[in-house]
Structure 1
């Protein structure tokens, strides 16, 4: 029989003031970063978003909102002034994240956009 009461793990809300963003990496970039010689990545701006580049490869950063919030937890251990003096484990919710950043592969050289006429001009030619 255990002498410790099973009261569960205390959870408290204790934001640490840091802003967190989760970055979703594509498998090919993750493999590069985990290799023995990880590449140097550069971050450049573009009209639509930021671009992460590695040589000829490039990825656009896109923000995605999540329907369910993600909560970051931090484990802590504290001693209470009780007779046992046993450390008590607890969890602190340090941040709540409502969006993530995903990397979308972008072509290294963008093709010129195809000129498209108005709808009625496009279909009037065939008559």
Structure 2
């Protein structure tokens, strides 16, 4: 049943670690930031970011730079994990800490920021037989 946790136990150094599939229903999109933008956003005086659209692409703008957003699909899924919350005893006191993880989401694509001038970034050049046959339709 969707939304229900399913638990699997894995041995790690003789200890059992509970791993459960417990999707939280949130639609996650991961944004891959260029190193220069990540550094700027970590400062105390981080700039305001604006997300706009153009006829060819979605654009992320800072005061002095514009990035084009491009979706990258991958065959290797990224699984987002969250720690299992601490269990409560019957009297309401904290019990022993549970050792485990919830797999809350699986992500198959990321959003890449490509530095640009406000227009869509050019599509990457297809290479190899697979891209010649299938890459144009992605």
Give TM-score, length-normalised by structure 2. 0.66
Q: How many Å separate the matches in 2 of 1:53 and 1:18? A: 26
Contact 1:78 1:89 in 2 (8 A): no
Q: Where do residues 82-93 of structure 1 align in structure 2 (5 Å cutoff)?
A: 86-93=96-103
Q: Where do residues 23-62 of structure 1 align in structure 2 (5 Å cutoff)?
A: 23-62=31-70
Q: How many Å separate the matches in 2 of 1:10 and 1:80? A: 19
Question: Do the aligned partners of residues 70 and 109 (structure 1) sit closer, same or farther apart at CA in structure 2, a change above 3 Å counting?
Answer: closer
**Is there any run of 5+ residues in structure 2 with no aligned partner, and where?**
1-13, 121-138
Contact 2:57 2:68 in 1 (8 A): yes
Larger radius of gyration: 1
The CA deviation string for residues 100-127 of structure 1, in whole angstroms up to 9 with x for no partner, is 00100012589xxxxxxxxxxxxxxxxx
**Is there any run of 5+ residues in structure 1 with no aligned partner, and where?**
1-5, 111-127
Q: Which structure's relative contact order is higher, taking Cα pairs within 8 Å and 6+ residues apart?
A: 1
Q: How many Å separate the matches in 1 of 2:82 and 2:27? A: 15
Q: Where do residues 54-73 of structure 1 align in structure 2 (5 Å cutoff)?
A: 54-73=62-81
SS at 1:29 equivalent = helix
Give TM-score, length-normalised by structure 1. 0.71
Q: How many Å separate the matches in 2 of 1:54 and 1:107? A: 12
- The alignment yields a C-alpha RMSD, in angstroms, of 2.2
